[in-house]
Structure 1
Amino acid sequence: MKEYQTITEISGPLVFAEVDEPVGYDEIVEIETDDGRTLRGQVLESSEGVVSIQVFEGTGGIDRNASVRFLGETMKMPVTEDLLGRVLDGSGNPIDGGPEIVPDDRIDIVGKAINPYSREYPEEFIQTGVSGIDGMNTLVRGQKLPIFSGSGLPHNDLALQIARQASVPEEEEGDDEGSEFAVIFGAMGITAEEANEFMDDFERTGALERSVVFMNLADDPAVERTVTPRLALTTAEYLAFEKGYHVLVILTDITNYCEALREIGAAREEVPGRRGYPGYMYTDLAQLYERAGRIEGKEGSVTQIPILTMPGDDDTHPIPDLTGYITEGQIVMDRDLNSQGIEPPINVLPSLSRLMDDGIGEGLTRGDHADVSDQMYAAYAEGEDLRDLVNIVGREALSELDNKYLDFADRFEEEFIQQGYDNNRSIDDTIELGWDLLSELPKESLNRIDEDLIAEHYREDETEAAEVSAD
């Protein structure tokens, strides 16, 4: 252990100190202040003779007389299966009044990159109970599927709904039969009110029993925000690859995380990139997102749902833009649907799950899932286009089929997307509802569904069926 009293500068969350020996990157540092407090930090940059240290608890109370101790090790997360049901702060310390954590292991929070050769291709379905996701943009085990939201939209409600409802259907378990499901919830920069809502919901629904919650609040140091998701993902990897759990990691809000990166970059006087964010933000986000996946020979999996609020609802903003490059799709929340009272307000048209076709393939008994999804997407897109035309010419000028597409679009939003935050729909319920809606359209317009499936599932109108029978 090396100790110095050579602080030369304090800038925002950073402390600069002179050293006479090499110091490792990411090395953990303890800073002892004059009033007896011990603050923890991490080496952010190390060059000959000088190191910059980011202080997790903030630099308040630190002066040039403070002692700096370099511990010779990187930050590690104490992990154990007993973490399930616990609530921790953004630095991994228990805040739920429970007993001290007795770890089985201590793992470096940076993690190890998964060897691409050892990755298993994600192709097993995860049921969230939300029709807008399960039916139209299916989540797959080992996938990273972000939610693109906006300020004031109910993404927290959707996150909680997924956290308490997500499961692996029994018929999907196969060789993994007996594997358990766990949720890691990492909150970054949220308000105390939001934190209370999260905890009330977790405790009320019993979801906390299978969850580990990390809470970094808005008034906590911004630097801590850069550590919170790494602690959460390290815990997820331990449960998945050492204990065989299927782990769903929900991270909210990635925008707050990126703002912390920008603050640290400004304190380091780095040359800014787009809109003032660091030029390395793409690499930094990739280090988080790419920790999702499955490993050959391991039972468990890590699936990620990062949530971000797009500043100004701008999907070209650097945060959603870079996230879209790294991840396998996105779920988009819509302000217009929210104003109509649709819960959850998921807009399926700009949403995408690039792994959906693999997750709903031959491994399922629901062979009609893909066809129904494709047909509903096409019909809803047609109805959306016709809504613009109606504003110009009125419904009377449209054909009977066009009016059916308009009715379909309305019912799709009001019955399929609209389900509330307490309604847990199975995938079979979702597909059945899809057939109910598609049966409002003429059979000949269902050109994306196999004829045998139409014959088996299409609901004939009772009056029409009687007329056909009479003929």
Structure 2
Amino acid sequence: MSELTHIEYTGVRELRGPLVVVEGVRGVGWDAFATLSLASGERRHGLVLEVDRDLAVVQVLQDTTGMDRIGTRIAFSATPLRIPVGIGWLGRVCNGRGEPADGGPPVLGGTYAAVGGAPINPVRREPPNEPVLTGVAAIDVLTTLVRGQKLPVFSAAGLPHLELAVQIAAQATCGGEAFAVVFAGMGLTHADAAFVRSGLSERSAARELVLLLNTADDPVIERLLTPRLALTVAEYLAFTEGRHVLVVMTDMTSYSEALREVSAARGEIPARRAYPGYLYSDLASLYERCGRIRGRPGSVTVLPVLTMPAGDITHPVPDLTGYITEGQIVLSAEAHAAGTYPPVDPLASLSRLMRKGAGAGRTRPDHPDVAAQLIAALARSRQVRELADLIGRSALSPTDLTHLDLENAFRQRFLAQAMDENRSLEDSLGRAWDVLLTLPRSQLGMIPQELFDVREESASPRSGTDVPGAAT
């Protein structure tokens, strides 16, 4: 971290929740790093949130519990918070402040980078056009994740979003290219933190993972720092080391609630549901740090996970996230109640960049058409199910009945997957074809005839594969 000035201030005017108001300061800038020395000899750290003439408001990363106005000394750095970055982060488990939680030494790096980061110049952005395969069929086939994309997971309390996030982090690959995962957990219970560490132990041992865990009993301020640390580490690994990096951040609702708590402590005027008016720009400052830079190797892909209070997708956090990101993966309470994992709702989910990362030369030539046809067939199946509830199954036509069969086949043969099952794209697309072929050929008008011909050819006894368009 940056060197501190030799001037220490003792004029603590007020302790307010996680905030310290210091008076009599000079030459202190916004976002400067601060070290607080207590009368007991303990040292804490903080960041400057606001400066007004000779007053500075400091948010304390370890909270102000046990602090006394008298005897507290504060020294400020001349620059914003900076951390060491490098490949030394790979394989490490740290708390939300970046301090080791695995019993190892402090993380060192050859250079330092500002935690606040900087937006990528739009002129230098490279359009995303290559897939990140997660091993989860519903994502890889229907909402393909593309390198440099920001694609959130919308969930609700009680749904297995953490299990899905860990599975994606454990299985994701970029077709054999240098790859790493940065996992930032915010507001986790100790049981959830242990689950994350256990589920990602193999990837951590392979030095392909950076794990930052902020638990629910850690200071709330730390929760605001955790995703910024994760993205700072990811940017170095991507744009300097040339790796493709997937950043998984869960739960962004916990992050937003921490932001609301700090805003209330600062006495700011609240906006929707008491969240600060700058919630949109704050979330954007995180999500927009993903992408690819023209002329540089590597990419940063962001997968934020958030829970919608009471399943309300119009809640400020999912609502604003939807405006910033390029689609969403929505988990369904209905599918979860039926015992299906992962309980992805394919009709509510969308990847706006999927067409850039799927198809010939990227996944498989038949991938876009199969995905589009499967979504259309599922939409028709849902309409038929609603119709059956009104007039009874016996009144349905034979074609309508095949659509009901397709919905069941989709859940059982395509969507349902074990939490540790890593499905190849070939297997996932083969299952998608099997589900579609429960319908008559006349109902599959979105798939060109040549793809049927290729499938029939590849399924013949002389062929070594049973999937169309497979690479040779």
Give the root-mean-square deviation of aligned CA atoms.
1.7
Alignment-derived partner of residue 225 in structure 2: 227
Q: Are residues 326 and 268 of structure 1, via their aligned partners in 2, closer, same or farther at CA, if it must alter by over 3 Å?
A: same
Alignment-derived partner of residue 236 in structure 1: 234
Select the residue among 41, 60, 75 that pairs with 1:36.
41
Select the residue among 349, 356, 359 that pairs with 1:361.
359
Select the residue among 57, 79, 84 that pairs with 2:85.
79
Task: Supply the AA of the counterpart residue of 1:141.
Answer: R
Task: Supply the AA of the counterpart residue of 1:267.
Answer: A
Alignment-derived partner of residue 60 in structure 1: 65
Distance 1:385 1:457 in 2: 29
Select the residue among 15, 18, 33 that pairs with 1:13.
18
Contact 1:439 1:459 in 2 (8 A): no
Once the two structures are overlaid, the 10-residue window that deviates more, 101-110 or 181-190, is: 101-110
Q: Are residues 346 and 399 of structure 1, via their aligned partners in 2, closer, same or farther at CA, if it must alter by over 3 Å?
A: same
- Give the superposition deviation at 1:102: 2.6
Task: Supply the AA of the counterpart residue of 1:50.
Answer: L
User: Secondary structure of 1:293's match?
Assistant: coil
Alignment-derived partner of residue 49 in structure 1: 54
Alignment-derived partner of residue 89 in structure 1: 95
Alignment-derived partner of residue 464 in structure 2: none
Contact 1:435 1:459 in 2 (8 A): no
Select the residue among 17, 25, 31 that pairs with 1:26.
31
- Give the superposition deviation at 1:370: 0.6
Residues 82-161 of structure 1: pairs in structure 2 closer than 5 A? 82-161=88-167
Once the two structures are overlaid, the 10-residue window that deviates more, 314-323 or 21-30, is: 21-30
Q: TM-score w.r.t. structure 2 length?
A: 0.94
Contact 2:95 2:214 in 1 (8 A): yes
Alignment-derived partner of residue 421 in structure 2: 423
Select the residue among 264, 281, 284 that pairs with 2:282.
284
Residues 213-362 of structure 1: pairs in structure 2 closer than 5 A? 213-362=211-360
Q: Are residues 20 and 59 of structure 1, via their aligned partners in 2, closer, same or farther at CA, if it must alter by over 3 Å?
A: closer
User: Residue deviations 1:212-246, cap 9 Å, x none?
Assistant: 00011100000011101000000000000000010
Distance 2:426 2:220 in 1: 44
- Give the superposition deviation at 1:73: 2.2
Q: Are residues 101 and 460 of structure 1, via their aligned partners in 2, closer, same or farther at CA, if it must alter by over 3 Å?
A: closer
Contact 1:83 1:101 in 2 (8 A): yes
Select the residue among 4, 7, 10 that pairs with 2:9.
4
- After superposing on structure 2, the runs of 4+ consecutive aligned residues of structure 1 that deviate more than 4 Å are 204-208, 458-462
- Give the superposition deviation at 1:460: 13
Once the two structures are overlaid, the 10-residue window that deviates more, 261-270 or 356-365, is: 356-365
Distance 2:178 2:105 in 1: 24
Contact 1:90 1:225 in 2 (8 A): yes
- Give the superposition deviation at 1:437: 1.1
User: Secondary structure of 1:447's match?
Assistant: coil
User: Secondary structure of 1:421's match?
Assistant: coil
User: Residue deviations 1:90-125, cap 9 Å, x none?
Assistant: 111111012332311111001111000000000101
Task: Supply the AA of the counterpart residue of 2:9.
Answer: Y
Once the two structures are overlaid, the 10-residue window that deviates more, 272-281 or 80-89, is: 80-89
Distance 2:146 2:394 in 1: 44
Once the two structures are overlaid, the 10-residue window that deviates more, 184-193 or 413-422, is: 413-422
User: Residue deviations 1:363-410, cap 9 Å, x none?
Assistant: 336111011001100111111111111112111100000000010011
User: Secondary structure of 1:226's match?
Assistant: helix
Task: Supply the AA of the counterpart residue of 2:429.
Answer: I
Q: Are residues 123 and 100 of structure 1, via their aligned partners in 2, closer, same or farther at CA, if it must alter by over 3 Å?
A: same
Distance 1:294 1:243 in 2: 13
Structure 1 portions without partners, runs of 5+: 171-178, 463-471
User: Residue deviations 1:72-99, cap 9 Å, x none?
Assistant: 2211121121211000111111110123
Contact 1:163 1:207 in 2 (8 A): no
Contact 2:90 2:204 in 1 (8 A): no
User: Residue deviations 1:119-168, cap 9 Å, x none?
Assistant: 00001011101111001000000000000011111111111111111001
Alignment-derived partner of residue 167 in structure 1: 173
Q: TM-score w.r.t. structure 1 length?
A: 0.94
- Give the superposition deviation at 1:461: 13
User: Secondary structure of 2:417's match?
Assistant: coil
Once the two structures are overlaid, the 10-residue window that deviates more, 64-73 or 349-358, is: 64-73
Task: Supply the AA of the counterpart residue of 2:370.
Answer: V
Distance 1:208 1:343 in 2: 27
User: Secondary structure of 2:183's match?
Assistant: strand
